[in-house]
Amino acid sequence: MSYEPKMVGFLCNWCSYTGADLAGTSRIHYSPNIRVIRVMCTARIDPTFVLKALRDGADGVLICGCHPGDCHYSEGNYKMMRRYPLLKKILADYGIEPARVRLEWVSASEGQRFADVVNDMTQRVRELGPSPIQQVLAQDMAER
């Protein structure tokens, strides 16, 4: 069976989660690899969530929030915007390819966009193959 990546998505309740729901009501199909976890705002997303997801078996992590300026809590997404480059730097140091963790802005009316983002990211992660963390963990287990 060919490799299918496991994807985790952190979606903010007001924009991107609603946008994903809109993709549903519009019956816009997208890659089924993603499992969505709802938070109130991307500001809530601790970088440890991303690391935990990667450690627990995710090959890719998608973070979706409101477009800058449209955050339901006025500035929450800016806080995510500031954390994100630092997170990416750390991940690069761990040897995790940049395409595996992605931040996108999806508004409540952008059902199609959500689907497109999920499809695109899933394809890229598929091309990258299984996450290096998983290989290391497997090796680790084997050695024990």
Partner 1 sequence: MEEQRIGVYVCQCGTNIAKVVNCEEVVRAVSDQPGVVVAKTYKYMCSNPGQEMIVADIQEQGLDRVVVAACSPRMHEPTFRKALQSAGLNPYFVEMANIREQCSWVHDDPQVATEKARALTYGALRRVAKHEPLERMSVEMCPDVLVIGGGVCGMTAALELADGGNRVYLVERQGTLGGNVARVDLTAPYLDSARDLITSLVTRVEEHKRIDVLLHSEVSSLEGFVGNFTATVETIWGDGASVSQFKVGNVVVATGYKEFDASRVVHYGYGKLPNVVTSFEFEKMLRAGRVQTKEGKIPQYVAIIHCVGSRSKEFHTYCSRVCCMTALKYAHEVKSAIPDCYVSDVYIDMHAFGKGHEDFYKRGSEAKTLFLMYAKNDHPVIRKAGPGDDCDMLIEVNEKLSGEQIEIPADLVILMVGMEAREDSEAVARLVNISRDKDGWFIESHPKLDPVATTTDGIYIAGVCAAPKDIPDTVAQARAAAGRILAKTIRGSIEIDAVFAEVDEDMCSGCRVCNTLCPYSAITYDPEKKKSTVISAVCKACGACVAACPSSAIKARHFTDSQIFAQIEGVLA
Of residues 5-44, which lie at the interface with partner 1 (CB under 8 A)? 6, 8, 13-15, 17-18, 20-21, 23-25, 27-30, 32, 35-41, 43-44
Among 5, 60, 65, 76, binds partner 1 (CB under 8 A): 76
Q: How far is CA 43 from the centre of its chain?
A: 14
Q: Half-sphere exposure of 22 toward its Cβ, with a 13 Å CA cutoff?
A: 17
For position 48 contacting partner 1 by CB under 8 A, the verdict is yes
Nearest Cα to 65, choosing from 55, 75, 56? Answer: 75
φ, ψ for residue 131, nearest 5 deg: -65, 140
Among 60, 63, 64, 83, binds partner 1 (CB under 8 A): 83
CA 18/CA 107 separation, integer angstroms:
8
Q: Which residues bind partner 1 (CB under 8 A)?
A: 6, 8, 13-15, 17-18, 20-21, 23-25, 27-30, 32, 35-41, 43-46, 48-49, 52-53, 56-58, 66, 70, 72-76, 79, 83, 107-109, 115
